[in-house]
Amino acid sequence: MTFDETAIVTWANMVTVGRVLASPFLFMLIPDDGRGSYVAFVVWVILCSSDGFDGYLARKHGITRSGAFLDPLADKILVLGAMFTLVSRDVFWVMPVLIIAAREILVSLYRVFVGSKGVSMPASKTAKVKTLSQQLAVGFALAPFTVIDQTWTFTIFMWIAVALTLLSAAQYAVKALT
């Protein structure tokens, strides 16, 4: 069976696009009172889990260039959208979110630049752990059982995410310069 790496309509890409389209729904579910929401938490877990599912589908049926571009973009839309929504609800402090957003924008622009030259830039292991720590920070900030009494949970994961954000940015910069 032959595989077309230029394919756009694939099962994995449909899951990824579904994640992007569901993101605004999640943002609307985040309550204004800063007390968390089990519904938002469950939707968050489902959307984060779908990231692993689309990766599984891509590995099973073949990784495409469009998927290599769309998947990290979907992660950024979901994570940054949730983080900025939490900033607007006075749950997250804006500074770590701005640091994370700056790195995500710079790496995305670099991906587009090298992609235009036919070079694929898959996520590094550090970047994957960074994304997980971001997802955990948001998840703990959405869960009523931690956002009210145990704010240290999402605060710790947020600062771990910032550290990994800076580390992965440095790794990509070194790789770009070599």
In a domain, 154, yes or no: yes
In a domain, 132, yes or no: yes
In a domain, 4, yes or no: no
Task: Give the pLDDT mean for 141-152.
Answer: 90
CB neighbour class for 149 (10 Å; exposed up to 12, middle 13-18, buried from 19): exposed
Instruction: Specify if 56 maps to a domain.
Output: yes
| Mean pLDDT value of segment 56-71 | 80
Within-domain flag for 82 = yes
pLDDT at 151: 87
What is the number of structural domains in the chain?
1
* Average pLDDT value for residue range 24-53: 94
5 domain residue, yes or no: no
Q: What is the band of 2 on the pLDDT scale with cuts at 50, 70, 90?
A: low
Rounded distance between C-alpha atoms, residue 43 and residue 65, angstroms: 28
Helix (H, G, I), strand (E, B) or coil at 80: helix
CATH code where residue 21 lies: 1.20.120.1760
119 belongs to a structural domain: yes
Evaluated on CA atoms 4, 9, 11, 12, the torsion sign reads: positive
* Beta carbons within 10 angstroms of residue 112's beta carbon: 12
75: containing domain: 11-177
Q: Full-prediction pTM beyond 0.85?
A: yes
C-alpha 100/C-alpha 165 separation (Å) is 6
Q: Per residue in 80-94, pLDDT tens?
A: 999 999 999 999 999
Q: Note the pLDDT of residue 22.
A: 96
Residue 51 included in any domain: yes
